[in-house]
Amino acid sequence: MDIRRYLQTIMQRGGTGLAEELGRHLDEWSRRTGISVETWALPAGRVPQRVTDAVLACLAEALSNVEKHSGASVVSVAVTVGASGLRLTISDHGRGFLGRASGRGVVAMSAHLAAVGGRCAVNGTPGGGTTVSGIVPAAALRGP
Ligand SMILES: Nc1ncnc2c1ncn2[C@@H]1O[C@H](COP(=O)(O)OP(=O)(O)O)[C@@H](O)[C@H]1O
Ligand SMILES: [Mg+2]
């Protein structure tokens, strides 16, 4: 199953905690691509389903870029939920890129997080890797 289909499936199922969905998703992706995933942290609590969906959609695009563009053999993923909100970091030590990332994927990642009140940035260093950083402010985490 490709990554988008997989995400749609788990999103439709709904009702599962973000940590559980992330863990399952990352295992599947790592098995398929042969790229190791280092998980720095996982959210302890529950977040609204629409935020889970947005975070997973952003993560899917970031991982597809790691697979397609980075050449990296390891990617680090951190998702933490704290007083300031939810933070998402996807970081690889692959080939990186020069200048601003501009493409449909980068626009889509920002749009997914903007839809739940958050934002996202993609930073590359040529030869030094790429980091995607996203945040969803605490106010946007309230609700069902
Ligand atoms: N993890 C990454 N490693 C290297 N380059 C990346 C990475 N993520 C994004 N990029 C660069 O940013 C560009 C834009 O990404 P994106 O908007 O997803 O478009 P696409 O994947 O269709 O090329 C990519 O073409 C690539 O040059
Ligand atoms: Mg892309």
Q: Which CATH superfamily is domain 3-141 in?
A: Histidine kinase-like ATPase, C-terminal domain (3.30.565.10)
Average per-residue pLDDT in the chain? 86
pLDDT tens for each residue of 53-76: 899 899 999 999 999 999 999 999
Confidence of residue 143 (pLDDT cuts 50, 70, 90): confident
pLDDT tens for each residue of 67-122: 999 999 999 999 888 888 899 999 999 999 999 998 999 999 999 999 999 999 99
- What's at 50, amino acid-wise? R
Confidence of residue 126 (pLDDT cuts 50, 70, 90): very high
Round to whole Å and give the CA distance between 94 and 69.
8
Q: How far is it between the farthest Cα atoms of the chain? A: 42
Round to whole Å and give the CA distance between 66 and 61.
9
Q: What is the pTM of this model?
A: 0.87
Taking CA atoms only, the protein residue closest to ligand 1 atom 9 is 65
What integer is the mean pLDDT of 11-28?
A: 69
Q: What are the residue ranges spanned by the domains of the chain?
A: 3-141
Q: Which two tokens stand for residue 119?
A: 């934002």
Ligand 1 pocket mutation, candidates 69, 73, 102, 106, criterion most atoms within 8 A of CB:
69
Residues having CB within 6 Å of any atom of ligand 1: 65-66, 68-70, 92, 94-97, 101, 103-106, 122, 124, 130
Q: Output the CA 144–ligand 2 centroid distance in Å.
A: 31
